């Protein structure tokens, strides 16, 4: 059973739902985002865990982990989730948290990966699906696919399209493990 962590648009969540993967819970660090609407439309329980409502990040993550486990989550997918996870959260799902990132890691970690690749003038960037550890986009790579930067005008859409194919593929493989 899959729990998806989101922060905004939720197009990667949608790709998982469209692939009929067993998503049983969606947790967001922001209330009122489109991703939570997508969860509701699919009949999947969704909940927001905003940092401002907790004493600190560790407490927020502990509450979020409790909720996910109550929903039966065994595998956590960060799909456009823009906060780092605390060690307390990572320990609750050891080696069972994956993230999708719009670059060929370790190149261009962080929240501005596509802009950073454009600014660096590389010819090729891409998509990475990796296991999550305490670092910023640093965990072991599970799968990568290159995407040519040119034409620059369509780079974001082409990266998204690869994310939406690669993430469900990898997640479905992890589900059978």
Point out the residues that are catalytic: 101
Identify which of residues 86 and 125 has a Cβ nearer to ligand GRF in the complex: 125
How many residues does this entry show for the chain? 177
73 binds ligand GRF (CB under 6 A): no
3: β partners: 25, 76
> Three-state DSSP class for 106?
coil
109 binds ligand GRF (CB under 6 A): no
Rounded Cα gap, residues 57 and 164, in angstroms: 29
In the complex, the smallest distance separating the C-beta of residue 99 from ligand GRF, rounded to whole angstroms, is 7
Span interacting with ligand GRF, options 64-72, 94-102, 116-124, 143-151, rule CB under 6 A: 94-102
Identify which of residues 61 and 137 has a Cβ nearer to ligand GRF in the complex: 137
* Contact by Cβ (8 Å): 149, 117: yes
Span interacting with ligand GRF, options 7-15, 42-50, 54-62, 147-155, rule CB under 6 A: 7-15
Span interacting with ligand GRF, options 23-31, 40-48, 98-106, 118-126, rule CB under 6 A: 98-106
Which DSSP category does 10 fall into?
-
Residue 82: enclosing H or E segment and its boundaries? Answer: none
Q: Residues 142-171: x/- map of binding to ligand GRF (CB under 6 A)? A: ---------------------x--------
Structure token pair of residue 86:
């605390």
Q: Locate tokens 């994956």: which residue?
A: 98
For residue 31, how far is the Cα from the chain centroid? 17
- Contact residues toward ligand GRF (CB under 6 A) are 8-12, 35, 79-80, 100-102, 163
């Amino acid at each position: 059973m899959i729990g998806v962590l989101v922060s905004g648009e939720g197009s990667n969540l949608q790709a998982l739902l469209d692939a009929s993967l067993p998503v049983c819970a969606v947790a967001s660090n922001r209330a009122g985002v489109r991703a939570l609407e997508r969860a509701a439309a699919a009949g999947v329980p969704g909940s927001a865990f905003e940092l401002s409502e907790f004493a600190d990040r560790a407490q927020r993550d502990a509450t979020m982990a409790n909720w996910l486990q109550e929903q039966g989550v065994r595998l956590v997918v960060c799909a456009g989730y823009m906060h780092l996870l605390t060690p307390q959260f990572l320990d609750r799902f050891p080696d069972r948290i994956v993230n999708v990132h719009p670059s060929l890691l370790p190149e261009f970690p962080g929240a501005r990966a596509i802009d950073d690749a454009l600014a660096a003038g590389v010819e090729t960037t891409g998509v990475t699906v990796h296991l999550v550890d305490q670092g910023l986009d640093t965990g072991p790579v599970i799968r990568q696919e290159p995407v040519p930067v040119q034409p620059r005008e369509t780079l974001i859409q082409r990266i998204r399209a690869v994310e939406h194919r690669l993430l469900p593929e990898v997640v479905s493989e992890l589900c059978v493990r």
